A and B are shown apart, each in its own frame.
Chain A
């Protein structure tokens, strides 16, 4: 018994050594950024010290009280939240239609949906720029540099995976429940409200969360389709470097702020991330 116990501890020892090593590899880069965010410009140079020497919060307070940065952050929050809500609503309606109605060519619609996501976004930058600045205009107003533009555009990337994710969920709700509700006198909205939404709530939540984080993380379109008013937090990070004499401490502080939602989401929605990233092709 003693021997087998020792052997078990021994096998755990190897496992833990391996995982602690992997965890360090994952965390050290982030830790270093945290350390940089806690230093003044002078303290940064010289021998790199991986330990936190003291709590120096000025980088954070500088960043968080800066009015431009506050605007960027508000924009990011507004765009991500509006996009997540819109994607949840549209995807629910679309998936319900694809799941319950006999629509001509619905399998092809599916395939076409993913192709939207596969393309390299940079390839569509130019047409979207022209569309945003020239096609959609009312007098002086254009879609360029508006939160609305980004919200609608991110739907192109979020709707396909949202529909794929929800398709499995809604297909799993027995159609008899719809019918029963209809016999009880419920209309379309009644069925959605009393049957579909409550039963697909977890799937809807995951859809919303993953859409939110994709919108929050997006850079390329935000950088090229906005200029001042609707800039988001990711573009702020990139701009910071090009300005001469980068303040690395503030850049690190700003990056740390953008990490917060990611951390929260990994904690709470970890299991569903893969389903979201593979269009549900890989389930857990």
Chain B
């Protein structure tokens, strides 16, 4: 009665669009990364150059520093978001009047366009009229200028990311917390476990899948962060993250070296996959250790 051909026909528009605009670019990056293709070179066209692009990449200081910076950014931001999101979710598990209003306000940054998040934070920290540099100077005597000090720019990006994405962690954690059955928690309390022990031995193992998913998605996001940081600092020192580096290298307007751009993209895709795989191993491996 149900002819698979009809099924394929229904699926085909989706598959065609994804093959053309999703898969074809991937194949392109995979192939062109091994070629020399400079649009403004004397002889137009592709020349195979094996791993030359990748050799160049390994010694490309800008790329390497962008990777280091992205890792620092991701670690600072994601750890803070997880801790803060967990606390907030914990606060939301009990009911109090007006809870849904607070929750709605807390969720709001999540839906704001990243570029607008960048604009909001730029207005806060801009030298001249932004309140943050003004009051830091007035009250604490600190000089705060993200255009000049790379560390301040990095920390501002981290804070902006926390502002933007903590609500996401809160909501996933809340979903995870509310799916934890009551009995094991009660049981542990009866057995004399203190709050920390309940958290460590009962809540955390139950939360692990949600935690894993959340960290996984946030790492993906951190690697591709471009818009908001670009808007915040205009690619200034301290914010040249991998996403921005790739954008600059592969941006059709800025770069004519398309072969090299492709190899950079390829390496970043590869790094993304490896990072997630390592994370998965780390978390599932520790779990095995606990069971034994």
- List which B205-248 residues lie within 8 A (CB) of chain A: 210, 213-214, 217, 220, 223-224, 226-227, 230-231, 234, 242-244, 246-247
Q: Are A48 and B134 in contact (CB under 8 A)?
A: yes
Q: Which of B25, B88, B111, B128 has the most CB of A within 10 A?
A: B111
Stretch among A61-69, A123-131, A198-206 lining the B interface: A123-131
Q: Which residues of B contact A251 (CB under 8 A)?
A: 119, 123
Q: Are B21 and A128 in contact (CB under 8 A)?
A: yes
> Contact check: which of B8, B106, B111, B135 meets A48 at CB < 8 Å?
B135
Q: What number of residue pairs across chains A and B have CB atoms under 8 A from each other?
A: 279
Give the complex CA separation of A119 and B134 in angstroms.
39
Which 10 residue pairs of A and B lie closest in terms of their CB atoms, listed nearest first?
Answer: A101-B7, A123-B265, A120-B224, A217-B113, A127-B25, A127-B28, A262-B111, A97-B10, A48-B131, A94-B14
In this assembly, does A54 line the interface, its C-beta being within 8 Å of a C-beta of chain B? no
User: Given A30-B120, A118-B272, A248-B123 in contact, is the A126-B250 Cβ separation under 8 Å?
Assistant: yes
Q: Which residues of A contact B109 (CB under 8 A)?
A: 26
Q: Are A266 and B24 in contact (CB under 8 A)?
A: no
Q: Are A33 and B246 in contact (CB under 8 A)?
A: no
Min distance, Cβ B281 to any Cβ of chain A, angstroms: 18
In this assembly, does A138 line the interface, its C-beta being within 8 Å of a C-beta of chain B? no
Min distance, Cβ A179 to any Cβ of chain B, angstroms: 8
> Contact check: which of B15, B104, B247 meets A267 at CB < 8 Å?
B104
Give the complex CA separation of A129 and B25 in angstroms.
10
Q: Are A273 and B107 in contact (CB under 8 A)?
A: yes
A contact face: mostly helix, strand, loop, or mixed: helix
A-B contact pairs, 20 of them (CB 8 A): A15-B96, A19-B102, A22-B102, A22-B106, A29-B120, A101-B4, A102-B7, A113-B18, A120-B272, A124-B29, A127-B262, A129-B252, A130-B258, A238-B230, A241-B234, A242-B234, A266-B108, A278-B172, A278-B214, A282-B214
Q: Are B14 and A103 in contact (CB under 8 A)?
A: no
Min distance, Cβ A33 to any Cβ of chain B, angstroms: 5
Q: Are A45 and B129 in contact (CB under 8 A)?
A: yes
Min distance, Cβ A26 to any Cβ of chain B, angstroms: 6
In this assembly, does A57 line the interface, its C-beta being within 8 Å of a C-beta of chain B? no
Q: Are B252 and A93 in contact (CB under 8 A)?
A: no
In this assembly, does A73 line the interface, its C-beta being within 8 Å of a C-beta of chain B? no
Q: Are A125 and B247 in contact (CB under 8 A)?
A: yes
In this assembly, does B268 line the interface, its C-beta being within 8 Å of a C-beta of chain A? yes
Nearest chain-A residue to B223 (Cβ)? A120
Q: Which residues of A contact B23 (CB under 8 A)?
A: 116
User: Given A102-B2, A120-B223, A126-B265 in contact, is the A224-B91 Cβ separation under 8 Å?
Assistant: no
Q: Which residues of A contact B224 (CB under 8 A)?
A: 119-122
Q: Are A156 and B22 in contact (CB under 8 A)?
A: yes
Number of A interface residues, CB 8 Å?
Answer: 90
Min distance, Cβ A64 to any Cβ of chain B, angstroms: 17
Q: Which residues of A contact B58 (CB under 8 A)?
A: none
> Contact check: which of B111, B130, B252 meets A265 at CB < 8 Å?
B111
Q: Which residues of B contact A91 (CB under 8 A)?
A: 14
Q: Which residues of A contact B25 (CB under 8 A)?
A: 124, 127-128, 131
Contact with A along B75-107 (1 / 0, CB 8 A): 000000000000010010010111000111111
